[in-house]
Amino acid sequence: MTMTILMRRLRHATAALALGLLGALISPAGAAHAASFEVLVFSKTAGFRHDAIPAGIDALRALGGQHDFTVTATEDAGAFTPSNLATYEAVVFLNTTGDVLDSTQQSAFQSYVDSGGGYVGVHAAADTEYDWPYYGQLVGAWFQSHPAIQQATLRTEDRTHPATAHLGATWTRTDEWYNYRANPRPRVRVLQTLDETTYSGGSMGADHPITWCHAQGSGRSFYTGLGHTAASYADPAFRSLLLGGVRYAAGQAAADCSAPAGDGQVEAESYSSGSGVQAAEHGPASGGRTLGYIDHGDWAGYSHVTTAGARTFTAKVSSAGAGGTIEIRSGSAGGTLLGTVTVPVTGGWETFTTVTTTLTASASGPLYLRFTGAAGALFDVDTFTLGTRPTAGPLSDGVHLFYYPWYGSPAVNGSWRHWQQGGHTPPDGVGADFYPALGPYDSGDFDGAVAQHMEWVARSGAGVIVYSWWGRGSYEDRLARGVLDAARKQGIEVAWHLEPYAGRTGASTAADIAYLTSTYGSHPAFHRAADRGGKGVFYVFQSLDIADWTALDQVTGTSIVLAQTTDTTRIAHFSGMYTYDGIAGATAPGWKQAGDHARAHGLVWAPSVAPGYVDDRAVPGNSTPTVERADGAAYDRQWSNALDPAVGGSPTWVSVTSFNEWHEGSSIEPADSTPPAGHGYRTYDGAYGRTGEAAQTAYLDRTAYWVGRFEELTAGRSR
């Protein structure tokens, strides 16, 4: 137990004992008691000074009086000593600016937080201590710029955190809206984002976090970019946000502040310890800075980055020096060597390339990078990513990915199949706006492409694929058993998407369900819904094309059969509904009504969410609206709609359109970050703040985040 924690426990134990002894002697009307916790508010400025600081202090004192905590306000950095900090559960940096702590005070504060203390940063707290890498890690992101004060709309991503639980899905207010040097999302739990379409001057794009939290050592960090104006502190909603942040940071309110699942990109200059290295200013770099001044034997440590489960290392680097080697180590600069990667000479400090390596050893300590090479300057490191194995946790049987096994190549199928849609010529030209990371693969390549698909599905956290099936004896039917075998190896199960093949009727669909069950039902990967009595699951695409579905009564006793609609007057004989539409999820028309109806009648409700919809290359001249991915914001909006009970109707399952429907541009399967030139392909670059190769898996990893949210929200209630 650290001395800081021990002192806090002794102080509270003493207060409790004193109250117990005096309780019988003091009348209730005159009773006085020690506050439940204490907060230090620090507002020193070494740059711009906000005139809202007094209003902020008054608001925090008022909140303390109402919610049983004391507030001590100071601008004296001398308060940052181990013994004094130990008397507080949280420290609020209220519109601080510039270099406000010396090295001794920094060390005391770092020890305080890492041993269990709490930090709250308000607005200009992000404009503070630029030369202290630990602080950049603590606050989450440093300030870059801001437009004029104006009204904007915020989206609430997390309505379970005590700081944001009182807010609706959106919140419109007036403030000064910060842009940050880097997107903090890979390292924090984002609670609120800004909608840059609702104001002028945003520079972060579709994913613009503005309030977030994260664990820091044994302590807790909370930051909000709100709070520039004095009027903010009179706003009850903003005061509630501050209160929730303080209570979380002080350890008085529980909250999930874990970073997103998957591989997060790390700014290399955000090191927490190091030898010889410094941050270097380079405009083209992520956030405008790199980890620089690297010589032989220098190193950088990242206490916030664990090496547990790491299997790959990827870095964006530059070198106008000698080049050299990065050693990836765990625990210390001389700790377990996980792997190495060579950094070439790129010809300039602002000319970047990407290097990657497989890690052959394993350890679970914090990450350290050690640098070796010839004499003199070696190279700079801009960003890096540790890649992990597919998720080892339990996969969700409530999240289903639509999967398309209709692709063919000359090497396996004897000819190209489906890739040439829209009149294109594979392998470089395919009928899709994105180019697969695997290239134009074959759906019958079970040991290659399909095996990789199942690894990626597992990485997404989804436990079920919905297999596109086009009738008995079809190409897809012939490949089904091979896909089932590959799925089984990753713990994936297979449901079925019954497509509108020629001549389909209600009776033929019922017969097809019986055929699929008898042919594949004994396979271990055949999905049987545990929450629905172990019944097989069948989605029927374009179900409204057929008026009479009476024949389904023959199979719904043993199977779940879903209609593609939200029209509850058109689902007689079905077991529930799904939507598939990758466009409608942005507004969720009829979702709540469908969900409420399903819940009231014991039916399944499985709305579909998509990362976007772009089919221009596959269907030239198509008038279908497109949905731009907006660096992930479109996907997040659809997931948020699905999981918001007031919008999405509390889904039984969530279906994702799609894993690999490349022609509709709705895929979450990794897209090549360097596709063949001259074809106008897009990439996932920029999604959730990632670039280059790190962006290829951005949508898989974001799916894992939303799968986790879905499981949290459905825990304790019957689906």
What is the SS3 assignment for 23-92? CCCCCHHHCCCCCCEEEEEECCECCCCCCCHHHHHHHHHHHHHHHCEEEEEECCHHHCCHHHHCCCCEEE
Query: Mean per-residue pLDDT for 163-167?
Result: 93
Give the residue among 640, 569, 630 at the shortest CA–CA distance from 167.
640
* pLDDT classification of 25: cutoffs 50, 70, 90: very low
- Alpha-carbon gap, residue 558 to 555, rounded angstroms: 6
Average pLDDT, the chain: 89
Residue 479 contacts residue 405 (beta carbons within 8 Å): yes
Is residue 95 within 8 Å of 124, Cβ to Cβ? Answer: yes
For residue 306, what pLDDT is reported?
A: 74
Question: CA neighbours within 13 Å on the CB side: how many for 147?
Answer: 13
Work out the angle at residue 69's Cα, subtended by the Cα atoms of residues 63 and 72, and round it to the nearest 5 degrees: 90
In the predicted model, is pLDDT for residue 163 greater than 90? yes
The pLDDT, as a whole number, for residue 8 is 43
> Which residue has better confidence, 260 or 397?
397
**Interval 481-515: pLDDT, tens:** 999 999 998 889 999 999 999 999 999 999 999 99
Q: Comparing 375 with 543, which gets the higher pLDDT?
A: 543
Condensed to tens digits (0 to 9), the pLDDT of residues 80-101 reads: 999 999 999 999 999 999 999 9
Residue pair 31/38 in contact by the 8 Å Cβ criterion:
no
pLDDT computed for residue 366 by the predictor: 84
> CB burial class (10 A; 0-12, 13-18, 19+) of residue 533?
exposed
How many other C-beta atoms can be found within 10 angstroms of the C-beta atom of residue 288?
Answer: 16
Q: Is the pLDDT of residue 307 over 90?
A: no
Give the largest CA-CA distance in the chain. Answer: 93
Q: Is the dihedral of CA 684, 688, 694, 700 positive or negative?
A: negative
Is the pLDDT at 254 greater than 70? The verdict is: yes
Cα–Cα distances in angstroms (integers) from residue 332 to residues 299, 302, 338, 368, 629, in the given order: 9, 10, 12, 6, 40
| Residue in the structure block whose two tokens are 């579905």 | 549
Segment 653-670 shows an average pLDDT of: 97
Q: Can you read off the two tokens belonging to residue 299? A: 């190193």
pLDDT of residue 694: 80
pLDDT at 321: 93
Instruction: Give per-residue pLDDT as tens, 183-239.
Output: 888 778 999 999 888 999 998 877 799 999 999 888 999 999 999 999 999 999 999
Residue 689 pLDDT grade (very low, low, confident, very high; cuts 50, 70, 90)? confident
Residues 368-397 have pLDDT tens digits of: 999 999 989 999 999 888 875 443 457 899
Peptide bond into 670 cis (omega under 30): no
Q: How many CB atoms lie within 10 A of CB 413?
A: 17
Is the model's pLDDT at 272 over the cut of 70? yes
Look at residues 256, 301, 241 and name the one whose alpha carbon lies nearest to residue 121. 241
pLDDT per position as a tens digit, 438-496: 999 999 999 999 999 999 999 899 999 999 999 999 999 999 999 999 999 888 999 99
- Whether the per-residue pLDDT at 176 is higher than 70: the answer is yes
SS3 per-residue string spanning 186-252:
HHCEEEEEEEHHHCCCCCCCCCCEEEEEEEECCEEEEEECCCCCHHHHHCHHHHHHHHHHHHHHCCC
| Burial environment of residue 481 by CB neighbours within 10 A (0 to 12, 13 to 18, 19 or more) | middle
- What local confidence, expressed as pLDDT, does residue 108 receive? 96
State yes or no: pLDDT of 308 exceeds 90: no
What is residue 483's predicted lDDT score, i.e. its pLDDT? 97
pLDDT at 334 over 50: yes
Cis amide linkage into residue 332, ω under 30° from 0: no
pLDDT in tens, 596-621: 999 999 999 999 999 999 998 998 87
Report percent pLDDT > 90 for the chain. 71
Residue 10 pLDDT > 70, yes or no? no
* Cα–Cα distance, 80 to 65 (Å, whole number): 24
β-partners of residue 92 are 41, 120
Average pLDDT over residues 28-50: 79
What is residue 34's predicted lDDT score, i.e. its pLDDT?
A: 59
- The pair of three-digit structure tokens given for residue 4, joined into one six-digit string: 């800081």
pLDDT the model gives residue 12: 39
What span, in angstroms and rounded, lies between the C-alpha atoms of 110 and 177?
28
CB 75 within 8 A of CB 101: no
E strand segments, 584-639:
604-606, 608-609
pLDDT category at 135 given cuts 50, 70, 90 is very high
Q: Residue 646: which H helix or E strand, with range?
A: helix 645-648
| Alpha carbon separation from 72 to 23, 75, 137 (Å, rounded) | 27, 10, 25
Residue 511 CA to residue 185 CA, distance in Å, equals 48
* pLDDT computed for residue 30 by the predictor: 40
CA-CA-CA-CA torsion sign (112, 115, 117, 121): positive
User: For residues 170 and 241, what is the distance between their CA atoms, to the nearest angstrom?
Assistant: 14
Sign for the pseudo-dihedral over CA of 629, 633, 639, 641: negative
Can you give the pLDDT at residue 566? 98
